[in-house]
Amino acid sequence: MKYIITENSLRRVQFKYLDYLFEDMYEVESKNYPDSRFWKKDDEVVLELHKWSGNLYVSYSIWGDISSMFSLYYDEVQQLIGKWAEQRLESGEVTANSGTSLTKGRWRHI
C-alpha cells in the first residue's frame, strides 16, 4: 500500500513533533546578555535567539533528533526550525543554527 503525504500534512506532523520536543521549555532573561532571549528545558538552555540578528541557536542534541526523525539534511532542519520558531516564538524572521555554543553547562548561569 502506498501513502501520499502532502507537504502541508508533513509540515503539521513536523511542527507537532517540535512542539513535543520543546513543550516543557520556558523563557529566561539574562541581565548579562540583554540582546539574547533564552529558553530552558530541564535546567539546560535549548534555544538562544539573538534579537538583533535573528539567529536562533538550537541545542545540538535536539537538532540531531529532528534530523534523524525526519531524515533531513542540515539546511532542511534549518528551514523547519526557522519556520516553527517564527510561528511559535513570535520572533519575526529567524535563521536557525545548530547550537554548538549551547554545549551542556555553558549557559548554566542563565
Cell of 100: 554548538
Q: Give the Cα separation of 110 and 105 in Å (integer).
A: 10
Strands 44-50 and 55-59 turn out to be antiparallel
Cell of 2: 502506498
Tens place of pLDDT per residue across the chain (110 aa): 777 778 888 999 999 999 999 999 999 988 888 998 999 998 888 999 888 888 899 988 899 999 999 999 999 999 999 999 988 887 777 788 876 555 555 565 66
pLDDT of 20: 94
10: which DSSP letter?
H
What's phi and psi for 85, nearest 5 deg? Answer: -65, -40
First to last CA, the chain: 51
pLDDT of 102: 56
pLDDT of 79: 93
What one-character-per-residue DSSP string does 73-84 give? -HHHHHHHHHHH
pLDDT of 101: 54
Q: Give domain limits for the chain.
A: 27-102
pLDDT of 109: 62
